[in-house]
Chain A
């Protein structure tokens, strides 16, 4: 094996058996079909992927670094042994249903980096390695489920944004799904976050788009002092048994914003819990279904769970009670609509 190895050509096609790279400056060229997969020898190996063909066979990146200059399509039947860092340049890694786990091949808690990368899934994935998201990345699940296992987790770096699209994220627990800074954000688009244990979200923000779901029977501790938003024509559905615990580190009760009257918060047999900071919802619609609990540590209106801001009717919250709804209120609750 040589440093700076170039496999394949940009003018003559070829079918490659497993290509092994070490060192830096390696390259997989345009018309090489890596049917036998490829191997990056170690964490210090770097390689550029510029092939127009899908990759099959055995892929082991050994935490090495891959730069994408084309979409990387993992073909059906591929055996993905270990991932590495991927600088995607907005290209796609399309993961066939043959891949069932994202792992680095070890149990290290050192993260790999996914930078400006789109991940397309075609089956459920066991996410078994820590990942740092840089730049704008997205996971398009196409209905798949991603389950955090072991040391698996996602950390969105400062300035980074992760978009979850049509995917269910399960196994959320503790701090395995975090933003490291308030400049980081997570877009939840037609996706669900399933709380297997309490999860603390201490930095950054959410943007809920489409039908976003918070499910499970545990708590999302929202301690960030950044505002999260339910977008227009979007619904945040907090499912039965789930608790949204609003406990921002800053004394700001307006950190769950609803963009307009088409923004919907669907409280379905869940608990909305706040510290004495309170939580003020404005503009959108709130649906109450089944047995819902409001629990607030505050005792005065300014510390309460509050609908509307009492000043502008356009900030009123429209509340819809569904059949079978029952609301238990503990602590401060203030219906402060103008209209």
Chain B
């Protein structure tokens, strides 16, 4: 069922009898019931239509120039019609979106398939200026996709937030139950320990070895622990408690945690933080902001500054800047909550600028380690997560980003290079634990990973090396995750980490970075038009059973046995007029190769032939191993005839390279062998049946050997010339 984008309303037709007669009798009652059923059916059908409706854009009878179109996931038959020109690109809602491309016209604008599936009914040409964000699965129907010269990366990743990269990944490593709400957590400076404070008057210290938490010690905090921060260079932990007036300093010594100092203030402390050099600590309370100095394992008051009337620090909502000159504080107020900035000159505090967030209390604050970005979370408001940039010279705070996270934010923390923001929020529908990527160029926050925990995530903290994070929650847990960042620009939600290419032909018009895990099915080809294809770290090509992949006019680099995988021996790979740059040793262990035209291996590494299948040099074709390369013939079966040369116009050109064979030996027949420059023939075999052999003793199979003027051949191990003619 399809609805055109102009959404012409579907008018339900009401039976005339509904308004025809005013009589009430049995017949009419039956009629009314019937009418109700009809109306209900019409309503349901409209709902169903909406639910199942496809997006068909364009027409097969009228031309149109389309604005950018997003195709929804819910539909199974989205379609881009024949005479629609997609000048502004198209996007898929999610990785589960499918669409048919049947347009005659080239596509320009931004295209983001987010890993969804595109079925070609026409060849797809990306016009100059097209911006391809993410590719998807392509069912090509033997048609082509031609990428304009502006497309230089093939990647895939999709989510509802926009995608643009590969997501990070995380894994829970361990979790400890502290038997009451865990209000605050932190890492020791060396990431060897994780500390947490909870309701129930306790501070807990756990060691962490990269995979597990091990209890070390706990100590009373004399009141419910509210916030804790670890010293940047020693095993010292500063703690605020709920409804208590003390700032308490703890020390981990060996396996013992003990209180070593405290300050008995008259204010209720809410938030603490150390300066980057560890010489000062700031405490935000219900009354003021106060700076302590830290020396000789004791804290001393330096200065303080009162807050405004009705203002109070929120829990965990204070942060030093990396220079130690500025402090940011999150303030709760009934009508004028604020993010406040103070300047600290080593002896006094000076209030600087602030921003008013109204009744939305600023409940979380963190200052980036690089740059002057301040992330805040709010309690209430439509956008609970915001990023400000503080300009020290102008004393201004500029809002750079604000987004909704679906609930009140309780904690935020930047990673060390300000590319990731860890967020914990109050329990509500959806995820409570989130990692966002932050782009300091365009200030965008993009959801990277999220998880629903169905409890308040009270406190979140990255480890100092960014490889882990810890959180404390209202389900009494102190939990540690590992985190591996993805490619910048990634989002969260559902994503495709690989695509399928089925019977499609790619044409490139520029060098291409292949960053996506790709499965090849059917007969596919890639014509690089003399450009370079680089298989990047995230790129993998897996060729399915029975499939054929042809590379034409390409310089291939970055190939390894791990990123170029043939599923079984029915796979065939055709190299036509290609250069294979061996950045590493490259093992070809399954399936067969067909060398067509001029195929050159370059670089200083090995091409290791371990397949059990025969590969062929076509007529009128040359397989060249260039300077310093090694062709290692090491098939997985004892067969020395797996490099086949069709006739005398099949050339094997050994140019300053090494041909090495295991004791299986290698026997070349029919073709023409060129030896140029310093060539090494090395064989592990010791008898003629294990040798590198030219010819097989049958006249018709003789090799033609051409030793060029600068050639010098070193022979190690068994070598056998069995030419007859």
Q: Which residues of A contact B (CB under 8 A)?
A: 12-15, 31, 33, 53-54, 75-77, 98, 143, 168, 323-324
Bound complex: CA A231 to CA B63 (Å):
49
Q: In the complex, which residues of chain B have a beta carbon less than 8 angstroms from the beta carbon of A12?
A: 61-62
Bound complex: CA A77 to CA B142 (Å):
7
Asked if A75 and B60 make an inter-chain contact with CB atoms under 8 angstroms apart, the answer reads no
B141 contacts A by Cβ under 8 Å? yes
Asked if A15 and B82 make an inter-chain contact with CB atoms under 8 angstroms apart, the answer reads yes
Bound complex: CA A13 to CA B83 (Å):
7
Q: In the complex, which residues of chain B have a beta carbon less than 8 angstroms from the beta carbon of A53?
A: 104
Within 8 A of A (CB), among B113-170: 122-123, 141-144
B709 contacts A by Cβ under 8 Å? yes
B706 contacts A by Cβ under 8 Å? yes
Bound complex: CA A143 to CA B122 (Å):
25
Bound complex: CA A54 to CA B102 (Å):
13
Q: Which residue of B lies closest to A324 (CB)?
A: B706
Asked if A14 and B61 make an inter-chain contact with CB atoms under 8 angstroms apart, the answer reads yes
Q: Which residue of B lies closest to A77 (CB)?
A: B142
B724 smallest CB distance to A (angstroms): 19
Q: Which residue of B lies closest to A15 (CB)?
A: B60
B708 contacts A by Cβ under 8 Å? yes
Bound complex: CA A53 to CA B105 (Å):
9
With A13-B83, A15-B82 as given contacts, are A76 and B104 in contact (CB-CB < 8 Å)? Answer: no
Q: Which residue of B lies closest to A194 (CB)?
A: B620
Bound complex: CA A33 to CA B60 (Å):
10
Q: Which residue of A lies closest to B709 (CB)?
A: A323
Bound complex: CA A12 to CA B141 (Å):
28
Bound complex: CA A205 to CA B104 (Å):
42
Asked if A76 and B62 make an inter-chain contact with CB atoms under 8 angstroms apart, the answer reads no
7 tightest Cβ-Cβ pairs between the two chains A and B: A323-B709, A13-B83, A15-B60, A76-B143, A13-B63, A15-B82, A53-B104
Bound complex: CA A98 to CA B620 (Å):
23
- 1/0 per residue B620-640: CB within 8 Å of A? 100000000000000000000
Q: In the complex, which residues of chain A have a beta carbon less than 8 angstroms from the beta carbon of B62?
A: 12-13
Asked if A76 and B706 make an inter-chain contact with CB atoms under 8 angstroms apart, the answer reads no
Asked if B83 and A98 make an inter-chain contact with CB atoms under 8 angstroms apart, the answer reads no
Within 8 A of A (CB), among B35-85: 60-63, 82-83
Asked if B61 and A77 make an inter-chain contact with CB atoms under 8 angstroms apart, the answer reads no
Asked if B123 and A75 make an inter-chain contact with CB atoms under 8 angstroms apart, the answer reads yes
Q: In the complex, which residues of chain A have a beta carbon less than 8 angstroms from the beta carbon of B577?
A: 143
Bound complex: CA A168 to CA B596 (Å):
15
Bound complex: CA A33 to CA B61 (Å):
10
Q: Which residue of B lies closest to A76 (CB)?
A: B143
Q: List 21 A-B contacts (CB under 8 A).
A: A12-B62, A13-B61, A13-B63, A13-B83, A14-B60, A15-B60, A15-B61, A15-B82, A31-B63, A33-B104, A54-B104, A76-B143, A76-B505, A77-B141, A77-B142, A77-B143, A98-B142, A143-B577, A143-B597, A168-B620, A324-B709
Bound complex: CA A14 to CA B59 (Å):
9
Bound complex: CA A151 to CA B577 (Å):
32
Within 8 A of A (CB), among B675-715: 706, 708-709
Q: Which residue of A lies closest to B648 (CB)?
A: A240
B163 smallest CB distance to A (angstroms): 30
* Chain B contact residues: helix, strand, loop or mixed: loop
Bound complex: CA A170 to CA B397 (Å):
76
Q: In the complex, which residues of chain B have a beta carbon less than 8 angstroms from the beta carbon of A98?
A: 142
With A12-B62, A13-B82, A76-B123 as given contacts, are A323 and B708 in contact (CB-CB < 8 Å)? Answer: yes
Q: Which residue of A lies closest to B82 (CB)?
A: A15
B237 smallest CB distance to A (angstroms): 69
- 1/0 per residue B331-347: CB within 8 Å of A? 00000000000000000
| Other A-B pairs beyond A168-B620, A324-B708, 6, CB < 8 Å | A53-B104, A54-B104, A76-B142, A76-B505, A77-B142, A323-B709
Q: In the complex, which residues of chain A have a beta carbon less than 8 angstroms from the beta carbon of B708?
A: 323-324
Bound complex: CA A77 to CA B61 (Å):
23
Q: Which residue of A lies closest to B81 (CB)?
A: A15
Bound complex: CA A15 to CA B63 (Å):
12
Bound complex: CA A13 to CA B60 (Å):
7
Q: In the complex, which residues of chain A have a beta carbon less than 8 angstroms from the beta carbon of B144?
A: 76
Bound complex: CA A75 to CA B620 (Å):
29
B644 smallest CB distance to A (angstroms): 21
Q: In the complex, which residues of chain A have a beta carbon less than 8 angstroms from the beta carbon of B597?
A: 143
Within 8 A of A (CB), among B573-592: 577
B474 smallest CB distance to A (angstroms): 60
Q: In the complex, which residues of chain A have a beta carbon less than 8 angstroms from the beta carbon of B141?
A: 77
A244 smallest CB distance to B (angstroms): 19
Q: In the complex, which residues of chain B have a beta carbon less than 8 angstroms from the beta carbon of A168?
A: 620
Bound complex: CA A143 to CA B620 (Å):
12
Bound complex: CA A28 to CA B407 (Å):
63
Bound complex: CA A195 to CA B439 (Å):
64
Bound complex: CA A12 to CA B62 (Å):
6
Q: In the complex, which residues of chain B have a beta carbon less than 8 angstroms from the beta carbon of A31?
A: 63
From B82, B143, B709, give the contact of A33 (CB < 8 A). B82
Bound complex: CA A306 to CA B83 (Å):
65
Bound complex: CA A324 to CA B82 (Å):
61
Q: Which residue of A lies closest to B707 (CB)?
A: A324
Q: Which residue of A lies closest to B64 (CB)?
A: A13
Bound complex: CA A53 to CA B83 (Å):
10
A168 smallest CB distance to B (angstroms): 8
Bound complex: CA A324 to CA B711 (Å):
12
B344 smallest CB distance to A (angstroms): 70
Bound complex: CA A168 to CA B142 (Å):
25
Q: In the complex, which residues of chain A have a beta carbon less than 8 angstroms from the beta carbon of B104?
A: 33, 53-54
A193 smallest CB distance to B (angstroms): 13
B50 smallest CB distance to A (angstroms): 29
Most central of A31, A75, A76 by chain B CB within 10 Å: A76
Within 8 A of A (CB), among B492-547: 505
Bound complex: CA A107 to CA B577 (Å):
36
Bound complex: CA A13 to CA B59 (Å):
9
Q: In the complex, which residues of chain A have a beta carbon less than 8 angstroms from the beta carbon of B709?
A: 323-324
Q: In the complex, which residues of chain B have a beta carbon less than 8 angstroms from the beta carbon of A324?
A: 706, 708-709
A145 smallest CB distance to B (angstroms): 9
Bound complex: CA A324 to CA B62 (Å):
68
Bound complex: CA A14 to CA B60 (Å):
6
B101 smallest CB distance to A (angstroms): 13
Bound complex: CA A261 to CA B577 (Å):
31
Q: In the complex, which residues of chain A have a beta carbon less than 8 angstroms from the beta carbon of B620?
A: 168
Q: Which residue of A lies closest to B576 (CB)?
A: A143
Q: In the complex, which residues of chain B have a beta carbon less than 8 angstroms from the beta carbon of A143?
A: 577, 597
A171 smallest CB distance to B (angstroms): 14
Bound complex: CA A31 to CA B62 (Å):
10
Bound complex: CA A208 to CA B645 (Å):
31
Within 8 A of A (CB), among B2-20: none
Bound complex: CA A54 to CA B61 (Å):
16
Bound complex: CA A163 to CA B343 (Å):
80
Q: In the complex, which residues of chain A have a beta carbon less than 8 angstroms from the beta carbon of B60?
A: 13-15
Q: Which residue of B lies closest to A75 (CB)?
A: B123
B22 smallest CB distance to A (angstroms): 51
Q: In the complex, which residues of chain A have a beta carbon less than 8 angstroms from the beta carbon of B82?
A: 13, 15, 33
Bound complex: CA A275 to CA B494 (Å):
79
Q: In the complex, which residues of chain B have a beta carbon less than 8 angstroms from the beta carbon of A323?
A: 708-709
Q: In the complex, which residues of chain A have a beta carbon less than 8 angstroms from the beta carbon of B122?
A: 75
Q: Which residue of B lies closest to A168 (CB)?
A: B620
Bound complex: CA A33 to CA B105 (Å):
12
Bound complex: CA A170 to CA B82 (Å):
40
A290 smallest CB distance to B (angstroms): 8
Bound complex: CA A15 to CA B61 (Å):
7
Q: Which residue of B lies closest to A13 (CB)?
A: B83
B507 smallest CB distance to A (angstroms): 11
A322 smallest CB distance to B (angstroms): 8
Q: In the complex, which residues of chain B have a beta carbon less than 8 angstroms from the beta carbon of A76?
A: 123, 142-144, 505
A194 smallest CB distance to B (angstroms): 9
B119 smallest CB distance to A (angstroms): 14
Within 8 A of A (CB), among B385-444: none
Most central of A13, A77, A98 by chain B CB within 10 Å: A13
Bound complex: CA A53 to CA B505 (Å):
20
Bound complex: CA A286 to CA B82 (Å):
57
